[in-house]
Amino acid sequence: MGKLIFGCVADDFTGASDAASFIAKAGMRTMLFNGVPKDMGNYDIDAAVIALKSRTDSKERAVEDSLAAVRWLESQGAEHIYSKYCSTFDSTPEGNIGPVMDAVMEYFDERYSILCPALPVNGRTVKKGKLYVNGILLEQSSMRNHPLTPMKESHIGKLMEPQSRYHCVMLDDEWMARPKDEIWSHIEKERNSMERCYLVPDYTKEEDAKKITEVFGELKILSGGSGILTNLCSSYKKGEAMRAMPECAVQGRGIVLAGSCSATTLAQIEEFCSSGQYAYKIDPYKLETGEEDPDTIWETVENYCGDKEILIYSSDLPEQVKQVQNRGKEEMATRIEHTFSSLAVKALKSGYRRIIVAGGETSGAVTKALKYDGFYIGESIAPGVPVMIPAGNSQVRLVLKSGNFGNSDFFMNALKKTAKEG
């Protein structure tokens, strides 16, 4: 393997695949790794994305794992490191973005990094330092009731500073419209005597990524959502030819596994069910009593699905999720994740070659169970959701999506685009 141009560390698996899709769009041959690689092999790649579970891990574990990933990327020659987190940030004061970013900046002894969570193509924008979801303040959106990270605040400075040791400097659209040298003069005045600080540029439309790259692209450490990654990586390639992506379609049956409870995923499930395909809803209470398990679920699905496309899901409305969590949040989540991972293994053994998964935790559990550690990144089904090809099995296609990504027809579209006739 040659020297890496770019390295990215993501706080969950779907976040990693999201980032990888935008990097690949810049023409970099990109691989996603499930954790820090142990054996690199002879992969011919320009960019590496490492998926962790640091979004929901303890602070100590999140920092430890993130630094291990950063050190590995540094050892492979990556000149720029990107810390990827959710485009709706993590609004709790106990969140891990601050501790991780503080540790990485201190490791490289850098004075500045940016916080740039926006992804305008998916309706995530930042204006005057505040996060919006489809034009609605984050704290007023459906994300305020997220079961793992409820989002009650929209201002990035107020989100970050309880987590971090360093101050945030806001750069609104008026400042971002100015020349680069004026912007940096302003930053130096705002930083004053602070050892380090975070820079928060407004980002309301896709074209803003170009200016953000122009002003901040030379920084060693950057962070945010995936919105600026294509522009960043295009600038790092310095005019080199784009690398071809692997083929997305493959022969074999397809299956959808959905664990996300986001409003977007619920709409996608409804669309799938209304199309007349086969859907099976997992009952968490039956899993708890043992009345239902992966074996009985798979037997039922195989007996009744016929030639239809298949969806197996545990997704439900927020109030129903809270009732389930009252029976033991960690225990129930672990039981559901184990069920999905077992079903994915059964599907693969039964000849299914196209596996679509909704939800970060569900995706992480499935990929771990399938024991694939590295993936080549193909074309995207929707912005931030690429087709992934395991390095160890070129006949399998995985599509792993964050709960909030994709249109209502996403599942049917993903099944169609990964299917090869013959």
Q: Name the token pair of 292.
A: 């239902």
pLDDT 10s digits, 110-144: 999 999 999 999 899 999 999 999 999 989 987 77
Helices 329-349, 318-325: inter-axial angle, 10-degree rounding:
110
pLDDT grade, residue 40 (50/70/90)?
low
**pTM strictly above 0.75:** yes
Report d(CA 70, CA 354) in Å as an integer. Answer: 32
Nearest to 223 by CA among 288, 168, 289: 168
**CATH superfamily, domain at 253-417:** Four-carbon acid sugar kinase, nucleotide binding domain (3.40.980.20)
Record the tokens describing residue 397, joined without a space: 């296609």
pLDDT at 315: 87
Count how many Cα atoms sit within 13 Å of the Cα of residue 163 in the half-sphere of its side chain: 27
In the chain, CATH 3.40.980.20 sits at 253-417
- The CATH superfamily label for domain 6-237 reads Putative sugar-binding, N-terminal domain (3.40.50.10840)
Give the number of other Cβ atoms within 10 Å of residue 369's Cβ: 17
Tokens at 5, concatenated:
């141009």
When pLDDT is averaged across residues 371-378 and rounded to a whole number, the result is 92
List the structure tokens of 318.
């927020």
| Rounded-to-integer distance, Cα 404 and Cα 394, Å | 28
**φ/ψ (deg, to 5) at 177:** -80, -10
Identity (one letter) of the amino acid at 188?
E
Side-chain half-sphere CA neighbours of 89 within 13 A: 36
| Residue-wise DSSP of 331-381 | HHHHHHHHHHHHHHHHHHHTTEEEEEEESHHHHHHHHHHHT--EEEEEEEE
Kindly report the backbone phi and psi dihedral angles of residue 284, in degrees, each rounded to the nearest multiple of 5, phi listed first: -65, -30
Q: Assess contact for 82 and 19: CB atoms under 8 A.
A: yes
Which residues are CB-contacts of 215 (< 8 A; sequence separation ≥ 6)? 176, 180, 183, 184, 201
Predicted confidence (pLDDT) per residue in 47-103, tens digit = 999 999 888 889 999 999 999 999 999 999 999 999 999 888 876 778 899 999 999
pLDDT tier, 106 (very low <50, low <70, confident <90, very high otherwise): very high
Q: What pLDDT shows up at residue 52? A: 92
Cβ atoms within 10 Å, residue 191 = 17
Q: At what angle do helices 208-216 and 229-237 cross, to 10 degrees?
A: 50
Can you name the residues that pair with 101 across neighbouring β-strands?
A: none
Q: Is the dihedral of CA 261, 123, 245, 421 positive or negative?
A: positive
Rounded Cα gap, residues 398 and 418, in angstroms: 9
The residues pairing with 169 across neighbouring beta strands, listed in sequence order, are 199
Q: Contact at 8 Å (CB) between 121 and 104? A: no
State pLDDT tens for residues 300-321: 999 999 999 999 999 887 677 6
Measured distance CA(257)–CA(348) in Å, rounded: 13
